[in-house]
Structure 1
């Protein structure tokens, strides 16, 4: 009867040992953020409109799942246990299928997300020229955003500010290091040509490409894990 390939066996062990370590690190950091005083200060310093504990709980779940899968893969390879290898294969396959479903769902709802994002940004552009308390809060946030990301106005550039332009002009003004092609003249001031909505759209597009790249890389690793585990499973059965 054919024996178990040592190269596949120990490659499977090393792969899953690193997998288990990653899960342990994720779980440890998530638990520290959840229970420690300093960790709670970090997660509660984010935007008030979001629930920071939801992300931490998700990290705990992800870390625990990765740890369990890594343990099953390591023990299944070393002990040559078909049961553990089969559980590892099923778990990894479910994760891969969930990733695929999430990708399909993301591609399906992407046009709707873009539409909602554009509608929200166009509505907020009107707040720049208003004088209400709600508008002032948004204007303060926009001034900080313009300073940091070197853009001016939301949709139509500096004209979005209307009569409020003077109070935001400093955040719109180009720095001495900014190229002339990136600036335009408005009400006697040299301001950024790029609107903040175009910057946000570029940022979203870049992040989507990064997320797709990471997901694709993970999918390749997961497929290799599935192949190695099934090959090892078959070899153990044929001993």
Structure 2
């Protein structure tokens, strides 16, 4: 039978079952952000607002590819398994390209992020500022434990700052316990996770290469069995 057809079939099936579940989880994250963080997306009016759709599209592609892999493995369909292998190879190439871009153009991505933060905080000081802007900024300051665009002093030299500016404000938020500027904190987080995420992407691509090899091996075995059955 070559390649241990039964073994390869079940390994490929369970591998793609996990990929399908992961794809659904990624879709769920994208949908949740799209539905629950509309104010944030509206205020960060840059290319970064496509992030939820990127999650949804990637999750959908992962699910479709996993579907071909699962069905092709169980039904021993040469066409579906080959289609799955081709899709997987394309995804591997895309992942590696994205990882390389994150390594090479990390500074450009960070610059775009800085501009988004700057535009958001500057809109607070404009005449047309609304409550939504304040809510978004306060949420960002609470989640990232930061204060102001570059420093708390952007709120003026007040005796008490907004509660979102301090991690702990039991006795009031003052200059003594206010957090760092948001651009500094978010930039530091980006620098911390940019390369690890790119590295994980390449690592996942390596695992997917193994899946593609299993798929090609199974496809070859199925084709050989079909040839034998004709004679």
TM-score for both structures, normalised by structure 1: 0.64
**Number of residue-to-residue matches in the alignment:** 219
Structure 1 CA distance for aligned equivalents of residues 83 and 2 of structure 2: 23
Residue 94 of structure 1, aligned match among 90, 105, 113: 90
Once the two structures are superposed, residues 208-227 of structure 1 have per-residue CA deviations (whole angstroms, 9 ceiling, x without a partner) of 24533542342133112112
Report the equivalent of 1:18.
Answer: 18
Pair 124,86 (structure 1): closer, same or farther in 2 beyond 3 Å: closer
Shift of residue 88 of structure 1?
A: 0.8
Q: Which runs of 5+ in 2 are unaligned?
A: 226-231
Secondary structure of the structure 1 residue equivalent to 2:42: coil
The structure whose Rg is larger is 1
How well do the aligned residues superpose, as a CA RMSD in angstroms? 4.6
Structure 1 CA distance for aligned equivalents of residues 135 and 75 of structure 2: 62
Q: Does 1:48 align with 2:34?
A: no
Shift of residue 13 of structure 1?
A: 1.7
Q: Does 1:76 align with 2:72?
A: yes
Once the two structures are superposed, residues 57-96 of structure 1 have per-residue CA deviations (whole angstroms, 9 ceiling, x without a partner) of 5555434433332232223223333222211110000111
Structure 1 CA distance for aligned equivalents of residues 26 and 166 of structure 2: 43
Residue 166 of structure 1, aligned match among 149, 154, 158: 158
Summarize the alignment of residues 225-236 of structure 1 with structure 2, pairs less than 5 Å apart.
225-236=211-222
User: Is contact 1:43-1:53 (8 Å) kept?
Assistant: no
Pair 220,133 (structure 1): closer, same or farther in 2 beyond 3 Å: same
User: Is contact 2:16-2:67 (8 Å) kept?
Assistant: yes
Pair 66,168 (structure 1): closer, same or farther in 2 beyond 3 Å: same
Q: Which runs of 5+ in 1 are unaligned?
A: 178-185
Once the two structures are superposed, residues 87-144 of structure 1 have per-residue CA deviations (whole angstroms, 9 ceiling, x without a partner) of 111000011111122223333332223345556767888x69x975368987886666
Report the equivalent of 1:208.
Answer: 194
Secondary structure of the structure 2 residue equivalent to 1:165: coil
TM-score for both structures, normalised by structure 2: 0.66
Structure 2 CA distance for aligned equivalents of residues 144 and 25 of structure 1: 24
